[in-house]
Amino acid sequence: MHSPALLSRERLRTVVVPDHADLARQVAARIAEVIRRANAEGRHAVLGLATGSTPVGVYRELVRLHRDEGLSFARVITFNLDEYWPMAPDSLHSYRRFMREHLFDLVDLPPGQAHVPDGTLARDDVEAACAAYEAAIRTAGGIDFQLLGIGKTGHIGFNEPGSGAQSRTRLIRLDAVTRRDAAADFFGEANVPREAITMGVATILEAREVALLATGEHKAAIIRRAVEGDVTPTIAATFLQRHPNTTVWLDDAAAADLTRVATPWLLDEVQWTPALTERAVTWLSRTVGRAILKLTAHDYAEHGMSSLVAEHGTPGAVNGRVFNVLGAKIRGKSKLPQGARVVCFSPHPDDDVISMGGILRKLAENGNAITVAYMTSGNIAVFDHEVRRHLDVADRLRRERGLDDGAWSALRRTVLDALAAKVPGTVDIPEVQDFKRVIREAEAVSGLEASGLSAANARFLNLPFYRTGTVKKDPVGPADVRIVRDLLAALSPEYVFVAGDLSDPHGTHRMCKEAIDGALAELWPARPRGPHRTRDARPVDTPFALGGAPEVWLYRGAWQEWPVAEATWLVPLSAEELGAKIQAIFKHQSQKDSAPFPGQDEREFWQRVEARNTDTARVLDRLGLAEYYAMEAYVVD
């Protein structure tokens, strides 16, 4: 339990649940209570439902409760928040189709009791349909439980910045940030609809209970604004502060910017653990703009940290301790593994060089036996024009050499015909998917060669969960875990590198880590989960071979970097080493210039890497530590 002081800045009840599955279970259990209570009262339960990746776990748990525990939806009425307009109900992007695939068709909900705004209406008919939607909610008795996600603009439903507290169900023009955020689902921003039908803020606030869910680092900033900021039409989620029964459900990553998590010493007395001390002193140094060894008693007192000085005796004692801890994190080539077995798991065929291209080269130079395991094909992230370009290269070579291969000509025709007939956002035929997979595999090998390795170091796992041909993936299953487990069992690595970045826009990194965690748990059930790098516990420098289990290093991808206070190790790179890393990234030509899934950052991946690695080095410099050109950061799990 948190003290009232720690929660004093939060204007909404906020629950943080570290485990994603547990968060989904708790919210689904609450929905089940609402259904059973309403049914016991002799009436239908009325649910307001949301779409997107965040509530999928909740729907999966509701389906399990229906299948295994007899939870019935026969006396449930549902109203979805929104739908793109125009949008055919059978489109891959339709929210009606989303709900059918994740919930409606998997439980005993009568079709006539499931309501989703109609994306097929003519513009002249939309206003009347929206009024009818509001009337249907009133006729049902109002919404008992409203499930919400939150967009990066702070929208709930599609209530974009400027939406008023009195707004009702209506057609709304989508914000540019929202459309860019949805670009991954539509295979390009140009294909995202410009309008949507959405419940209004007033409609949402009339629900008797509201649950807002958010997961991932990329939601942390807007969550802090929604929970701790003033009510404003520019962030529709802040209107929930006026609702008497709203709960915000977060994972650790989404909660990271809340004051109680980021800077709890500003709110109340804290227990100064080594990890919290390190984080607080680093924050103080950056806040006052002075190196750690120059921080004074006045600096500590002005920022609510006098108790830390009292605990250590003097500012100098605190400063020196944290300075030494940070300095000990720096690991040059001579302090990295040598002659060891190393497996690097790369969710997509370029995450290895983007995230750990610097250490990968150093590990190769140190004579380690390295295997880079590419977990998914990454084929949906290849533009159609790349396929045409590679077909043209192969065709020119065939003509120049006078080769006449009927099978090749037939495949070429099949692929070109499929691309010509393709509608944006539709699933590629298997031949095109294979072609795109091979393009990315060839780029991955080229990237390895630029990093001092070769094709012999690559393994292409092509995990089944990814093979849908769409942005929406299947859940990670036993087959995925088995493939990863078999690789680990065969190689018996001493070090394993895993993507710990939870901000990729399509969630693949998170799913890949789930498969790896499952495989590690099967192979080494007694594997120590520490030294787990959390905000409340420092890692210890222990041998890698505890119980035969490998030491797991977490890297982050193209979206964010580990803060220096949270990192276990910091690996310096020279200007030449950073340049070589960027050259390896350049080998992924299908992702260069204009990546299909850039997220909110419009820079190319190599530009993000250059900025991130040099910024990490500059942070150390400003803290008063040794000056390096660039740095990669890692957390030992």
Active centre residues (catalytic): 160
Quote the tokens at residue 230.
């003033």
Q: How far is CA 418 from CA 393, 408, 428, in A?
A: 19, 15, 8
Encoded tokens for 400: 């120049």
Nearest to 498 by CA among 370, 363, 373: 373
What is the rounded distance in angstroms from the CA atom of residue 573 to the CA atom of residue 581?
10
Listed in sequence order, the residues at least 6 apart from 379 whose beta carbon sits closer than 8 Å to its beta carbon are 428, 433, 434, 436, 437, 439, 440
Contacts of 310 (CB under 8 A, 6+ apart): none
Q: Of 377, 390, 472, which Cα lies nearest the Cα of 425?
A: 472
Pairwise CA distance, residues 367 & 586, whole Å: 25
Residue 227 near residue 259 (C-beta atoms within 8 A): no
> Hey, is 553 helix, strand or coil?
strand
Q: How far apart are CA 496 and CA 261, in angstroms?
A: 29
Nearest residue to 376 via CA among 506, 497, 550: 506
* Separation CA 267–CA 326 (nearest Å): 26
* Residue 276 in tokens: 């919290």
How many whole angstroms separate alpha carbon 542 and alpha carbon 176? 48
191 in Cβ contact with 227 (< 8 Å)? no
- The type of residue at 36 is R
Could you tell me the two tokens for 369?
Answer: 């036996």
Radius of gyration of the chain measured on its C-alpha atoms: 26
Q: Minimal CA–CA distance to 30: which of 107, 109, 145, 108?
A: 145
Six-digit token string for 58: 């909740």
